[in-house]
Structure 1
């Protein structure tokens, strides 16, 4: 591996060839978070055969979220916006926090159901958790941009934001 020298420190040269890891991160973002964005569009707009905001509001009321309309909009918007941010690899720590927060609430709502039902929030929340720390990879809108944030501190901040907002919404409902 070649290195570039800056002062007295030596660092690895910037990769010029995409790696299989970059492709893997792209696939790990696009497929599940594209589905999450579709779920948000179903909840908010009735797109893709969804029930729309009125149906979502009724479902949230039945689950004990009050005011139901507020939590329906919050949940649907978190799925749609968080899903799109992660799918495109844009503002990844924020998108990951939104996805994790809504998946914590989703798991809470279905935790007594069989794993076949509660598995989706676990898997999507886990993927968002991983992306919060790894970043979105080379094939993303964050890659190489001044606003790109990855690593332990940003991943930890993303997790903290997700947990605080999820717990606040669970306590407020």
Structure 2
């Protein structure tokens, strides 16, 4: 006996696409803002000089390299998620960056690390599900989603984080 998937209505499909858009804009927008705070001092942020000094204090040597890298990853990864562009790569960038954020905040407890953990979860979900139809990836030759691409994003992000933690 074969079973068929239930019919998916246009409203259900639109709801999924809007849900993915909300997830992308919320998580990606937050990362974009934190990256711009680190790099440019926007939104009352620390700015590049204080960010790099802070990274030195956290043991990321040299702080100028790692502070700049973190800011760029948050800024670019967040922007790509908001736009729904190169989504598996954006997810990997976010996952790798936020694993490092968890490493720094975890000694202060789960509450301190929870924002980074939630961003990892959101990025992984987008890596698997894709950005939805309301995105720059939609109907493009490079549009990728699914099990292999989601796993690839998670593995690439984890490997990048491990390398960063080993080198710091």
TM-score normalised to structure 2 length: 0.91
Deviation of 1:90 (Å): 0.3
TM-align CA RMSD: 1.8
For 1:152, which of 147, 155, 164 is the aligned residue?
147
| Gapped regions of structure 1 (runs ≥ 5) | 1-14
Question: Where in structure 1 do 4 or more consecutive aligned residues deviate above 4 Å?
Answer: 15-18
| C-alpha distance in 1 between matches for 2:114 and 2:35 | 18
Deviation of 1:16 (Å): 6.4
Deviation of 1:126 (Å): 0.5
Deviation of 1:157 (Å): 1.4
Summarize the alignment of residues 8-87 of structure 1 with structure 2, pairs less than 5 Å apart. Answer: 18-87=13-82
Please identify which structure carries the higher strand content: 1
| C-alpha distance in 2 between matches for 1:94 and 1:157 | 9
1:141 alignment partner, SS class = coil
1:111 alignment partner, SS class = helix
| C-alpha distance in 1 between matches for 2:63 and 2:163 | 15
| Gapped regions of structure 2 (runs ≥ 5) | 1-8
Aligned to 1:102: 97
Return the index of the structure with the highest Cα Rg.
1
Please identify which structure carries the higher helix content: 2
Deviation of 1:164 (Å): 0.9
| C-alpha distance in 2 between matches for 1:90 and 1:22 | 15
Deviation of 1:154 (Å): 1.2
Aligned to 2:4: none
| C-alpha distance in 1 between matches for 2:34 and 2:45 | 8
